[in-house]
Structure 1
Amino acid sequence: MDKFNPTTQESDLPKISKPATRNLAEAGYYKLEQFTKVTEADILKLHGVGPKAVRILNEALKERGLSFAKK
């Protein structure tokens, strides 16, 4: 994944903790649609991203009719 560059890429992620946001960005995640290609378990492996962040991401995905990839 590409490194997040706030000057060229806009994030549409919901408000989650700063460590989770930072680590998701470092892993190249900055758009909700990107999470449809990975599982919750994949995201939980990232440092600083815990169950609460995944729950918030899940809620945001559901609002758009999206979901994490299935195992």
Structure 2
Amino acid sequence: MDDELDTLPKIGAPATRALHDAGYRSLRDLAGVPPAELGKLHGVGPKALRILDEALKRNGLVA
């Protein structure tokens, strides 16, 4: 298993809590989730979205 795919990148505590509360526990869980949907979560801002997008692209989980 790839550790990076099984965890969330370091995006800050509020964003991590928001993702966990929404049921997203790993980078794999975020594959195919529209950024606009993630951006609606309280605590997930532009910086967190950028970091998540970069991690998803780096791991081939988004085009």
Band the TM-score falls in, shorter-chain normalisation: 0.7 to 0.9
Q: Which runs of 5+ in 2 are unaligned?
A: 1-5
Give the count of matched residue pairs: 58
CA distance in 1, matches of 2:20, 2:7: 11
Identity across the alignment (%): 57
Choose the corresponding residue for 1:61, options 44, 56, 62: 56
Instruction: Show CA shifts across 1:9-54 (max 9, x none).
Output: xx51100110000111011101112212310000000000011001
Greater gyration radius: 1
CA RMSD in angstroms, aligned pairs only:
1.5
| TM-score, scaled relative to structure 1 | 0.74
| TM-score, scaled relative to structure 2 | 0.82
- The one-letter code matched in structure 2 to 1:41 is A
List structure 1 segments (4+ residues) > 4 angstroms apart after TM superposition.
Answer: none
